[in-house]
Every structure is written in C-alpha cells, then in structure tokens.
Chain A
C-alpha cells in the first residue's frame, strides 16, 4: 500500500461564523453538494479506495443521513470522531490516529475544491523520496460582492511568504507575516546552497500534504506541535537545512554528542527512509544526476530531509474558509463537475424564467412568474410566485414568499423570507425569518444568540 488518505473534516469554519454556527463547515452546501464531497470526489477519481475521515459526531450524523454522500461516494470511509470543543489541531488529530497509519499519508482538508492532477504532487513525493510534498495555487481575486461587508475590503489577510528554488519545486522557506517581526531573514547557509530563490506571496495553500510515515511517528513523540500548517510544515522546511540533519557523522566532540542526543532522536526518526539505506546511497553515488550545479556538493546537498511544493498555475483551486470564497465556490464548483442544472425531482412551473447557470436542488418547488438567474437553490426549497432571485445562494429548506426580490444574498437553511421582501447583498442566518415588506441592504441578519459570540 502506498498512500493512505486522511480527510480533516473537523474544522469549525472560524472565519465564516455566520454560515457555520448551525451547520458544520464540512456539510455546508456548495452547488447543492456538501463541501466534504469535493475532496472525497477528488480522492475517488484519483483511485483511492479508502479514506480516514476525522470529524465531529455532528458531522458524522449528518453524513449518514445525507443522500448525496451515501450514493456518490463509493470509497470506504473510516470515520474517526473527535471532540468538537477540545482544542484539537490537525497535527493533534494525526497523533490521535497514529495507530491506524501504516504507510505514508496524504492529508486533505475538507474545504478544498480543485481538479488538480494529484499525480504532480505525488510524483514529487515519490521521485525525490521527499518528506513533505504540498500543493499551492495562485490566488484568485474574488469578484463577487460579499454580503455584510461594510464598504471597503477587510484588511489584507496575513500574507504567507513562500520561498522556492530555481526549478520552482523545492520548498526552501515558509513563514507567515505574523511570525516575521522585523523583516524576512534567511540563513546564510540556505543562500549558499540555493543562491537563486524566488519568494512568492500571492499563493494559496491548498492544505494538501503528502507526508512520510516517519513524520507521523515523530509527531507522536513531539506533542508540542498541534497544527500541520501552522507549525509542522514550517518546522520541516527549516529542518531541511539544519546542521544535524545534514551531517549525521560529525566529529565526536562531547558537546556535539550532547546536542546530537537531543536532536538526534528526533532527526533519526525523520531520516529513516528504507532498510537498505546503504544500497540507496550506492545508487545515488553511481548516478550521474545532480539537482543543482555550480558548487561542489552532491545531489540535494547531501540533505536527507526534503520538502517539495507543486504550484498550480491554472485551474481552479479554492479553499472555502471565508464567505467570499464560499460564494465564489458556489458560482464555479458546479461548472467544474458538470452538474445537471435542474434536479429531476424538482417541480418547476412552466412560466419560470431560469438562467442557464442556475442550479436547482432536489424536491424544490418553483412557482410561476419567477426569475432565477445565476443562483443556487438548495433542496426542498419553496419559491412562490413573482419572486426574483439573482446572484444568490439559497440553502436547503428555505421558503420564499411571493413577490420577494433577492439579489446577491446568501440565505441559510430553513429561513423564511416574508412577502414582498427586498434583500440586497444580505446574509440571512439559519432559521431566521424576514418580515414581509422588509428592505435590507448589505446586512447580516442572524439570530440573537449568534450575536453573543465574539
């Protein structure tokens, strides 16, 4: 067995609480499919037959009742539940399932929507015998207006600085703006080995990682690391160039020995590649290949720990962790997967004007004289007469009374929009009721209990 897939679906969606306070992030509908379905579909298409899903009990319950998940996902899902409120990071979750992990792993986040050719990432992992291989993509600008945003854009998110070598594949440097106090400092040893480094900031981390099994074992011993993206990845990237990994056979000074003992145990685990290490070394010695030129060192500068990244230039790659991303994903994801615009069980009257890029879910009832353009309507939604819906996302179980006009809004599940309401760029929370003849623009309408969260 080569790779085991692990899907992290326990995240809370902390950056879009308006949407997630009632529905867990993993089950938010995107294009009328739960968000989890997209990474699972990607894994299935690539040929995986089993996935370990780490999630909360709530999501597990919803998964078992959701028809889409039951029918479409043919892989065997091994669901592991963790406590929802416990502060479990992704690395903590990996530590939790350490017993199940028998080979190298592929960790995917539940909010990733992409159609990348996974073999590009996995080939880097295989060919170079890498410890870590990850996927990143050029960030797309979000063009849709986000409801609830008051005027100007929010302050720029903390940027990620990613340093790659000349070929664009080897990962040399990774840091978040928040961690860099004074400026970006790069060690001289790295510059000596890789004199040409490209530092990129406009990249989106897809949270798709191929990790060696030794890393999981290492995590089991180092309980201080709790997040893959936040702590483990920068640690591994830094460790590529640390002195102890590069020269394991240093002179036997006493101090060196002590230092080796402290770091040695951790490094030793990370560096075990195969039982026939001398043979591999012999093959590499006899091979006339080098990954760099211009200096006197051998391939990979003799380093055993290597991190690689595949940067997607084109093609969709979205991480649905903010409201803007969610809206964008809803717009584009159905096109990716060639969804049937109208679910066969929906009841649509003949005098309804439906645009070509609208998607109607199962068991909807759309009455006469309605106009639905560029919108997604969830399952079991009722839309009465003379309603105009444009550029909106309507989740499941919503009732929209007559004469409403909904533009650029997000209406969460089980909401009721009263007659004649006019909503522009609003976000209506779960189960909310909008009174008839209401006129709201650019507002977030949520329940009182929600307002208490900070």
Chain B
C-alpha cells in the first residue's frame, strides 16, 4: 500500500505512484471497478472537467502513506483515463524522465509501472470488460507504441511468414552468438506461419566444436531434443532442469557482477538455443520461469557457494514436488476411478498415464488396456512395451480403428502436454479425435495432468500455435519404402507433420491433477490460485 518511498520530482509522477500502489493492490473487485469506471468515462466525457480538480487534490498528498486503500484505486482510474486518452503524450513523457532519473528501481516497481502502462494502453483502446491481464501474451512495449491503436503482440514463433519478425529474431540470435536454424521444405499454406525444421540439419552444424559460447550440457540437451531422444513433456522438463543444474555448478560470477542478475542473463542465450533446436513446451516454460524467479530472489549478500547450493536444492525440490510427488498423488486419485473389469483406452505414450496404469496394476485392480497409436511417431509401441512388461493385458490398434474399438471401452485416459487457461487441453495430435469419438459413444474421458503444465495461453484451435515436425518423417512407410522421396520436386505437394492439437473442454469429463479431480473449466481458478501464491 505504501509507495516505495522514492523522492517525487515533477508532479506528473503522481500517477506513477498511484500506479505502483495500484499494481500492488489491485484485486478482482478493483479491476472490475476499474473497467466500470472506464466504461462510464467513455460514455460521458464531461467528467474530464472534474479530473483536473481531482488531480490537484491528488497532488496535495503525493506521498501520503496513510491514504486508505479503497480510495486510491478509484482516483487513479479516473485519473488514468484523462491522462491516457486525451493526452497520451504526457504519460510517456512523464515515464521517460522517471526512467531516466531512477535507474535503480526495484523489480516490483518496474512491474507495477509496466502494469500501469498496460492499463493505460487498454483504457485508450477502450476494451470490453472481460479482458483479464492474461490477454496480452507479448511483453509490454515501450511507451511510443501506446500511440498506435490496436495490434496485440504475438510471440515470434507464430509469425514466421513476417519478414520483419524474422529479421528481429536473426538480430537477437546474432547478438547472443547463436546460429539461426533455417526452415526446411515447402510449408502447407495454413501453417506457413510456423517453423519447420529438418532433423538432418542439426543446429550443431553451425556451431564450432568444442562449443564455447554455449555450455556443453545445453548443446547435448538441444541435440537430444531435436533428434527426439528426449521426448514427452515431463522428460523434457526434467532433462532441462538437469542441464541447468550442471550450468549452475560450472558457473562462476564474474567480478563486479551479481549472481542474481548475471546468471539470468547467462541463461537467456541457452534458452534461445534450446528454442531453436525445438520449440519450448509449456512445462519447460513454467520451469524456466520458476528458475529465473528463484535466481532473482537470491539476496545480493549471499555468497556464491551458498547461492549455488540453494539453487540446486530448489531445482531438486521442484522436480520432486511437481513431477514425482504429483505423479504419486495423481495415481492415488486415478486409482479410485479405475474399477475391476474396466477396459481403459490410452493414446500414444504419456509417462503419467503409464505410471497410473502400472500403479493400479500393482494395487491389484483387474483391468485391460487398449493402446491406440498413430503415425508417424508410433509412440504407442513404447507405451505398449512398458505396460506389457508389467504384465497388463493390452490390445494395440491404430487410430483409424478407434470407432470400431470404442464400444468395448469403459474409460479413456489421456495425457496432456499443457492445459490452457480457457480449459482446452493441448496434447499430441489425435487426442482431440479420440475425445470426440469417445464423446459420441458416451465414454468418459479423463485427462491426467500435473499442475505445473497449466499455462496462461488461450487457444481455441490447433492452427494458431502449433509445432511442425520434420516432413520427411512421413515419407517412410511401414514396409520401409519411400514412394514420396522426391516430394519437394512436385510443386503442388506439401507434407504436414503436426505435433499438437487442442481438445475443447466439452469433450473432457474430468481432469485429474495433483490438487484433486477438477472439471476442465476450473483450470483458470487453479492458475489464479497459483499466481496469488507466488
């Protein structure tokens, strides 16, 4: 509630003070109030005359620590609209001197400032009320862009057909000394905004041996990602954290630098490199956010050895809690849902679903499993191997036979790559198909997912954001023949190898997480709870 206690210079900085307070205190009710205020202001512009008087009132008590909380949010929104809408220029002008005067702002203040700017942006665009803070996926822009009316920032990886974005990416990679991986082959027009790489052209071709810019553990990890040796959401996250542990062990703070800031900067090129090898998954993104937060929270007087030990410990705890124990908890909940005589359908190879079924079998539940598989990855064979090794009765079909086999099935267990904020389930391509057919047959669909895979993105279709795998994987058939070997020479032929798809929440009956069994639509609640915790 109290402001940061910084000396206030020009009076236009008031809105920033209020913004800071606002940033720290905005609750749901306040946000709603904010939106209502803005709507009112849009309709009746006479209130602008009152604003200057309120402004002057505000200026009389700039740094009053005792100002009650409920009052201040009402004033700043009212103040925001005039400051933002008719005069966007003073806001950036006020911001830039503040930025210039105070180079050493704390992270929380910067965050609050950014949020204030975002609010101002939204007010000037006159958005509708149900836009939450999750709406803008891109990072907040510099002040001059507030003048432009509409465009939301899209992440780089869905704008591959935009040459400017590509140029920016190339520049950023050049600065970090990471080679740019070039796209391969003709892309189907609907997906031409996504990257498509070839497995035969690894990124290490352009790196020197031995790699000096990038830590060897990260190079190894990138190679394993791009060749598919480490695949699956959980495996990728664990491998990532393992590599980060090695990076932290080998890290030494350069003189005149702080570990909390320098290590984060050191990790950025590694993350870009891994992104170039294979686009990051949602679980990896959450793990990286967690690590960065932990690193930034290291107090500056902490000695390097102790800091490193603490970080390594944090990573171990994270893996233990979010992956290992979560799997145990989910298995415990799921076993309640598995009864004797069940016929369970699984799709592809989800490490979590395999774990659940193995646990259930050990607890002497009598059930049999139908493993559905699809080309070109044929991951179901690995799932089949693991289940049969345990002794579970299994049937194996391809996805084309799913509607023939569903009358026998009593439950469908699906794994997830990520759960999106609007309740959609993002998983291996083919999952939504299975969920659809299961719904048509009235078979319950249960999705098992740990909470660390919950992500704040919103997607309603599989086109906007997806991953394109190597198209050459499609040309080899089961018998080993390659009829399509020269597909690139046929100008009208495009090969599409999608990796993910999204399943709407109407097809999913239950989501089993480590917090319990929740309906699909409760995912935003969990996200909000997580955010408040942090």
Partners in one complex: yes
Spell out A's residues near B (CB within 8 Å): 1-4, 46-49, 106, 117-119, 122-123, 126-129, 274-276, 279-280, 282-290, 293, 296
Spell out B's residues near A (CB within 8 Å): 202, 204-205, 207-212, 216, 219-220, 223-224, 227-232, 234-236, 238-239, 241-242, 245-246, 249, 319, 324, 348-349, 351, 379, 381-383, 385, 388-389
Contact A285 B220 (CB under 8 A): no
Q: Chain B: which residue is nearest A125 at the CB level?
A: B220
* The one of A122, A283, A293, A296 that contacts B209, using a Cβ cutoff of 8 Å: A122
Contact A286 B205 (CB under 8 A): no
For the complex formed, measure the closest distance between the CB of B377 and the CB atoms of chain A, giving whole angstroms: 8
| List of B residues within 8 angstroms of A288 by Cβ | 231-232, 235, 348-349, 351, 379, 382-383
Contact A287 B235 (CB under 8 A): yes
Q: In the complex the two chains form, what is the Cα distance from A211 to B7 in whole Å?
A: 62
Q: Chain B: which residue is nearest A277 at the CB level?
A: B242
Contact B204 A129 (CB under 8 A): no
Q: A283-B235, A287-B235, A288-B379 are in contact. Are A117 and B216 (CB under 8 A)?
A: no
Q: A47-B210, A289-B231 are in contact. Are A126 and B223 (CB under 8 A)?
A: yes
* The one of B216, B223, B242, B379 that contacts A276, using a Cβ cutoff of 8 Å: B242
| List of A residues within 8 angstroms of B242 by Cβ | 274, 276, 279-280, 283
For the complex formed, measure the closest distance between the CB of A289 and the CB atoms of chain B, giving whole angstroms: 5
Contact A46 B238 (CB under 8 A): no
Most chain A CB neighbours (cut-off 10 Å) among B202, B209, B242: B209
Q: Chain A: which residue is nearest B208 at the CB level?
A: A47
Contact B232 A127 (CB under 8 A): no
Contact B235 A279 (CB under 8 A): no
Contact A286 B224 (CB under 8 A): no
* The one of B208, B216, B229, B389 that contacts A128, using a Cβ cutoff of 8 Å: B229
Q: What would 26 A/B residue contacts be, using CB atoms closer than 8 Å? A: A1-B210, A2-B209, A2-B210, A3-B210, A4-B210, A46-B208, A47-B207, A47-B208, A47-B212, A48-B208, A48-B209, A119-B202, A126-B204, A274-B242, A276-B242, A276-B246, A280-B239, A283-B230, A283-B239, A285-B235, A286-B235, A287-B239, A288-B351, A288-B379, A289-B228, A289-B231
Contact A274 B246 (CB under 8 A): yes
Contact B235 A127 (CB under 8 A): no
Contact A48 B235 (CB under 8 A): no
Contact A287 B389 (CB under 8 A): no
Q: A126-B223, A286-B232 are in contact. Are A117 and B389 (CB under 8 A)?
A: no
Q: Chain A: which residue is nearest B227 at the CB level?
A: A127
6 further A-B pairs in the complex, CB-CB below 8 A; given A47-B207, A274-B246: A1-B212, A49-B212, A287-B231, A288-B382, A289-B229, A296-B388
Q: In the complex the two chains form, what is the Cα distance from A122 to B207 in whole Å?
A: 12
Q: In the complex the two chains form, what is the Cα distance from A276 to B312 in whole Å?
A: 11
For the complex formed, measure the closest distance between the CB of B333 and the CB atoms of chain A, giving whole angstroms: 19
Q: In the complex the two chains form, what is the Cα distance from A395 to B345 in whole Å?
A: 75
* The one of A117, A283, A296 that contacts B385, using a Cβ cutoff of 8 Å: A296
Contact B204 A119 (CB under 8 A): yes
Q: Chain A: which residue is nearest B249 at the CB level?
A: A275
Q: A46-B208, A128-B229, A276-B245 are in contact. Are A286 and B319 (CB under 8 A)?
A: no
Contact A290 B209 (CB under 8 A): no
Contact B385 A127 (CB under 8 A): no
* The one of A4, A46, A49, A127 that contacts B220, using a Cβ cutoff of 8 Å: A127
